[in-house]
Amino acid sequence: ETGVTQTPRHLVMGMTNKKSLKCEQHLGHNAMYWYKQSAKKPLELMFVYNFKEQTENNSVPSRFSPECPNSSHLFLHLHTLQPEDSALYLCASSQGHRGGGDTQYFGPGTRLTVL
Amino acid sequence: ILNVEQSPQSLHVQEGDSTNFTCSFPSSNFYALHWYRWETAKSPEALFVMTLNGDEKKKGRISATLNTKEGYSYLYIKGSQPEDSATYLCAVNAGGTSYGKLTFGQGTILTVHP
Protein backbone atom coordinates (compact mmCIF):
# COMPACT_ATOMS: atom_id res chain seq x y z
CA GLU A 1 0.00 0.00 0.00
CA THR A 2 1.23 3.48 -0.73
CA GLY A 3 0.23 6.95 0.42
CA VAL A 4 -2.46 7.45 3.04
CA THR A 5 -5.15 4.82 3.58
CA GLN A 6 -8.33 5.05 5.61
CA THR A 7 -10.70 2.37 6.85
CA PRO A 8 -13.56 1.90 6.71
CA ARG A 9 -14.54 3.93 3.63
CA HIS A 10 -18.19 4.02 4.70
CA LEU A 11 -19.67 3.72 8.18
CA VAL A 12 -23.25 3.86 9.41
CA MET A 13 -23.72 3.99 13.17
CA GLY A 14 -26.42 4.65 15.71
CA MET A 15 -26.12 7.41 18.28
CA THR A 16 -25.34 4.96 21.08
CA ASN A 17 -22.65 3.01 19.18
CA LYS A 18 -18.91 3.23 19.65
CA LYS A 19 -16.76 2.94 16.54
CA SER A 20 -13.28 3.89 15.40
CA LEU A 21 -11.85 5.28 12.19
CA LYS A 22 -8.36 4.22 11.21
CA CYS A 23 -5.74 6.04 9.18
CA GLU A 24 -2.36 4.70 8.11
CA GLN A 25 0.38 6.52 6.22
CA HIS A 26 3.16 4.79 4.30
CA LEU A 27 5.16 7.95 3.54
CA GLY A 28 7.51 8.07 6.53
CA HIS A 29 5.87 11.28 7.76
CA ASN A 30 5.86 12.58 11.33
CA ALA A 31 2.68 14.68 11.41
CA MET A 32 -0.89 13.45 11.02
CA TYR A 33 -4.21 15.27 10.86
CA TRP A 34 -7.95 14.68 11.10
CA TYR A 35 -10.30 16.86 9.04
CA LYS A 36 -14.07 16.97 8.78
CA GLN A 37 -16.12 18.02 5.78
CA SER A 38 -19.81 18.58 6.38
CA ALA A 39 -22.21 19.26 3.53
CA LYS A 40 -21.79 22.74 2.02
CA LYS A 41 -18.92 23.61 4.40
CA PRO A 42 -15.16 23.91 3.89
CA LEU A 43 -12.77 21.26 5.10
CA GLU A 44 -12.32 21.85 8.81
CA LEU A 45 -9.26 20.82 10.81
CA MET A 46 -10.04 18.76 13.93
CA PHE A 47 -6.74 17.50 15.35
CA VAL A 48 -3.00 17.68 14.62
CA TYR A 49 -0.37 15.24 15.87
CA ASN A 50 3.31 15.97 15.40
CA PHE A 51 5.81 13.28 16.38
CA LYS A 52 2.93 11.50 18.19
CA GLU A 53 2.12 14.55 20.36
CA GLN A 54 -1.22 16.29 19.93
CA THR A 55 -0.46 19.89 18.99
CA GLU A 56 -3.91 21.09 17.94
CA ASN A 57 -7.44 20.41 19.09
CA ASN A 58 -9.71 22.72 17.14
CA SER A 59 -12.43 22.90 19.81
CA VAL A 60 -13.68 19.45 18.91
CA PRO A 61 -16.40 17.91 21.16
CA SER A 62 -15.20 15.17 23.49
CA ARG A 63 -17.35 12.56 21.73
CA PHE A 64 -14.48 12.54 19.19
CA SER A 65 -11.33 11.10 20.72
CA PRO A 66 -8.11 10.86 18.68
CA GLU A 67 -5.28 8.43 19.29
CA CYS A 68 -1.84 8.37 17.67
CA PRO A 69 0.09 5.28 18.87
CA ASN A 70 2.96 5.86 16.43
CA SER A 71 3.85 8.16 13.54
CA SER A 72 2.24 5.85 10.97
CA HIS A 73 -1.18 5.33 12.56
CA LEU A 74 -3.96 7.64 13.63
CA PHE A 75 -7.35 6.70 15.03
CA LEU A 76 -10.52 8.64 15.66
CA HIS A 77 -12.69 7.01 18.32
CA LEU A 78 -16.36 7.90 18.10
CA HIS A 79 -18.99 7.56 20.82
CA THR A 80 -22.50 8.89 21.39
CA LEU A 81 -22.42 10.88 18.17
CA GLN A 82 -25.23 13.08 16.91
CA PRO A 83 -26.85 13.03 13.47
CA GLU A 84 -25.15 16.37 12.71
CA ASP A 85 -21.79 14.59 13.00
CA SER A 86 -22.56 12.84 9.71
CA ALA A 87 -19.80 13.98 7.36
CA LEU A 88 -16.73 12.96 5.40
CA TYR A 89 -13.73 12.48 7.70
CA LEU A 90 -10.36 12.87 6.05
CA CYS A 91 -6.94 11.97 7.37
CA ALA A 92 -3.74 13.60 6.16
CA SER A 93 -0.02 13.37 6.87
CA SER A 94 3.02 15.59 6.31
CA GLN A 95 6.74 15.49 6.96
CA GLY A 96 6.34 17.57 10.10
CA HIS A 97 9.39 19.82 9.72
CA ARG A 98 8.03 22.99 8.11
CA GLY A 99 4.77 23.45 9.96
CA GLY A 100 2.39 25.38 7.77
CA GLY A 101 4.68 25.04 4.75
CA ASP A 102 4.52 21.24 4.76
CA THR A 103 2.50 19.66 1.96
CA GLN A 104 -0.26 17.54 3.45
CA TYR A 105 -1.13 14.25 1.75
CA PHE A 106 -4.71 13.14 2.13
CA GLY A 107 -6.44 9.80 2.37
CA PRO A 108 -9.71 9.07 0.53
CA GLY A 109 -11.86 9.68 3.60
CA THR A 110 -14.51 7.81 5.59
CA ARG A 111 -18.12 8.72 4.84
CA LEU A 112 -19.88 8.58 8.23
CA THR A 113 -23.64 8.50 8.66
CA VAL A 114 -25.10 8.77 12.16
CA LEU A 115 -28.68 7.58 12.47
CA ILE B 1 -10.46 33.49 13.06
CA LEU B 2 -8.76 33.21 9.67
CA ASN B 3 -11.19 33.71 6.77
CA VAL B 4 -10.29 32.22 3.38
CA GLU B 5 -12.55 33.07 0.47
CA GLN B 6 -12.57 31.49 -2.96
CA SER B 7 -14.28 32.76 -6.07
CA PRO B 8 -16.13 31.90 -8.13
CA GLN B 9 -17.96 29.09 -6.34
CA SER B 10 -18.35 27.20 -9.61
CA LEU B 11 -17.25 27.59 -13.19
CA HIS B 12 -18.22 25.93 -16.46
CA VAL B 13 -15.84 26.23 -19.39
CA GLN B 14 -15.40 24.61 -22.79
CA GLU B 15 -12.49 22.33 -23.59
CA GLY B 16 -9.55 24.43 -24.71
CA ASP B 17 -10.56 27.53 -22.75
CA SER B 18 -8.14 29.04 -20.28
CA THR B 19 -9.52 29.92 -16.89
CA ASN B 20 -8.52 31.31 -13.53
CA PHE B 21 -9.89 31.57 -10.03
CA THR B 22 -9.06 33.48 -6.87
CA CYS B 23 -8.25 32.77 -3.25
CA SER B 24 -8.36 35.70 -0.79
CA PHE B 25 -7.00 35.77 2.76
CA PRO B 26 -6.07 38.33 5.44
CA SER B 27 -2.64 39.68 4.46
CA SER B 28 -1.79 40.39 8.11
CA ASN B 29 -2.08 36.73 9.07
CA PHE B 30 -0.09 34.65 6.63
CA TYR B 31 2.70 32.08 6.47
CA ALA B 32 1.86 29.70 3.61
CA LEU B 33 -0.80 29.07 0.97
CA HIS B 34 -1.65 25.67 -0.45
CA TRP B 35 -3.63 24.74 -3.58
CA TYR B 36 -5.26 21.33 -3.88
CA ARG B 37 -7.25 19.59 -6.62
CA TRP B 38 -10.03 17.29 -5.43
CA GLU B 39 -11.70 14.98 -7.92
CA THR B 40 -14.92 13.25 -6.97
CA ALA B 41 -14.41 10.00 -4.99
CA LYS B 42 -10.64 10.59 -4.77
CA SER B 43 -8.24 12.12 -2.25
CA PRO B 44 -7.38 15.82 -2.43
CA GLU B 45 -4.15 16.14 -4.41
CA ALA B 46 -1.55 18.79 -3.57
CA LEU B 47 -0.74 21.17 -6.40
CA PHE B 48 1.39 23.95 -4.89
CA VAL B 49 2.68 25.40 -1.63
CA MET B 50 3.67 29.05 -1.73
CA THR B 51 5.12 31.26 0.97
CA LEU B 52 6.84 34.27 -0.62
CA ASN B 53 5.23 37.39 -2.04
CA GLY B 54 5.48 37.27 -5.81
CA ASP B 55 5.91 33.49 -5.86
CA GLU B 56 4.89 31.82 -9.10
CA LYS B 57 4.57 28.05 -9.42
CA LYS B 58 3.82 25.92 -12.47
CA LYS B 59 2.86 22.30 -13.01
CA GLY B 60 2.07 21.43 -16.62
CA ARG B 61 -0.85 23.60 -17.74
CA ILE B 62 -1.60 24.81 -14.20
CA SER B 63 0.13 27.76 -12.59
CA ALA B 64 -0.38 29.89 -9.50
CA THR B 65 0.71 33.30 -8.26
CA LEU B 66 0.81 34.77 -4.77
CA ASN B 67 0.42 38.34 -3.51
CA THR B 68 0.84 38.37 0.26
CA LYS B 69 0.70 42.18 0.55
CA GLU B 70 -2.84 42.37 -0.79
CA GLY B 71 -3.87 38.89 0.36
CA TYR B 72 -4.70 36.90 -2.75
CA SER B 73 -3.57 34.04 -4.95
CA TYR B 74 -4.65 33.18 -8.49
CA LEU B 75 -4.76 29.70 -9.99
CA TYR B 76 -4.61 29.54 -13.81
CA ILE B 77 -5.41 26.62 -16.06
CA LYS B 78 -4.32 26.96 -19.68
CA GLY B 79 -6.23 25.04 -22.36
CA SER B 80 -8.65 23.29 -19.99
CA GLN B 81 -9.31 19.60 -20.57
CA PRO B 82 -12.27 17.51 -19.30
CA GLU B 83 -9.87 15.74 -16.90
CA ASP B 84 -9.27 19.10 -15.20
CA SER B 85 -12.85 18.95 -13.89
CA ALA B 86 -12.54 18.94 -10.10
CA THR B 87 -12.92 21.11 -7.02
CA TYR B 88 -9.92 23.37 -6.50
CA LEU B 89 -9.23 24.17 -2.85
CA CYS B 90 -7.01 26.78 -1.37
CA ALA B 91 -5.81 26.66 2.25
CA VAL B 92 -3.82 29.12 4.32
CA ASN B 93 -1.57 28.70 7.34
CA ALA B 94 -1.13 31.73 9.59
CA GLY B 95 2.22 30.64 11.05
CA GLY B 96 3.23 31.26 14.63
CA THR B 97 1.65 28.81 17.04
CA SER B 98 -0.76 27.48 14.40
CA TYR B 99 1.64 24.65 13.50
CA GLY B 100 0.34 22.66 10.54
CA LYS B 101 -3.09 24.26 10.88
CA LEU B 102 -4.64 24.87 7.47
CA THR B 103 -7.80 26.93 7.04
CA PHE B 104 -9.56 25.96 3.82
CA GLY B 105 -11.79 27.97 1.52
CA GLN B 106 -15.06 26.60 0.19
CA GLY B 107 -13.45 25.62 -3.10
CA THR B 108 -14.12 26.40 -6.77
CA ILE B 109 -15.91 23.63 -8.68
CA LEU B 110 -14.60 23.52 -12.24
CA THR B 111 -16.47 21.66 -14.98
CA VAL B 112 -14.82 21.41 -18.38
CA HIS B 113 -17.23 20.47 -21.18
CA PRO B 114 -15.91 18.52 -24.21
Q: Does A50 touch chain B (CB under 8 A)?
A: yes
Mean model confidence pLDDT for chain B: 94
Q: Is the torsion defined by CA of A54, B98, B33, B52 positive or negative?
A: negative
Contact flag B101-A45 (C-beta cutoff 8 Å)? yes
Chain B CB contacts of A104 below 8 Å: 34, 46, 100, 102
Contacts of residue A29 in chain B, CB cutoff 8 Å?
Answer: none
| Contact residues, chain A, for B42 at CB < 8 Å | 108
The tens place of each residue's pLDDT in chain A, 115 residues long, gives: 579 999 999 999 998 889 999 999 999 999 999 999 999 899 999 999 988 888 888 889 999 999 999 999 999 999 999 999 999 999 999 998 766 788 999 999 999 999 9
Note whether A101 contacts B46, CB cutoff 8 Å: no
Supply the pLDDT for residue B38: 97
Region B55-81 average pLDDT: 97
Bond into A8 cis (ω within 30): yes
B51 with A101: Cβ contact below 8 A: yes
Distance from CA of A99 to the nearest CA of B (A): 5
Test B4 with A94 for CB contact under 8 angstroms.
no
User: What are the residues whose beta carbons fall under 8 Å from the beta carbon of B59, sequence distance 6 or more?
Assistant: B47, B48
- CB A58: neighbour CB atoms within 10 A? 14
Asked if B99's CB is within 8 angstroms of A55's CB, the reply is: yes
Tell me if A73 sits within 8 A of A34, measured CB to CB: no
Which chain A residues contact residue B94 at CB under 8 A? Answer: 100
Distance, in Å, from the CA atom of A36 to the CA atom of A85, rounded to the nearest integer, reads 9
Q: Do A99 and B107 touch (CB under 8 A)?
A: no
Question: What is the DSSP track for chain A?
Answer: --SEEEE-SEEEE-TT-EEEEEEEE-S--SEEEEEEE-TTS--EEEEEEETTEEEEE-S--TTEEEEEEETTEEEEEEES--GGG-EEEEEEEE-SSSGGGSPPEE---EEEEE-
Q: Given CA atoms A7, A72, B37, B60 in this order, what sign does their dihedral have?
A: negative
First to last CA, chain B: 41
CA angle B59, B65, B71 (to 5 degrees): 145
Distance of residue B93 Cα from the nearest chain A Cα, in angstroms: 5
* Contacts of B113 by beta carbon, 8 Å cutoff, 6+ apart: B12, B13, B14, B15, B82
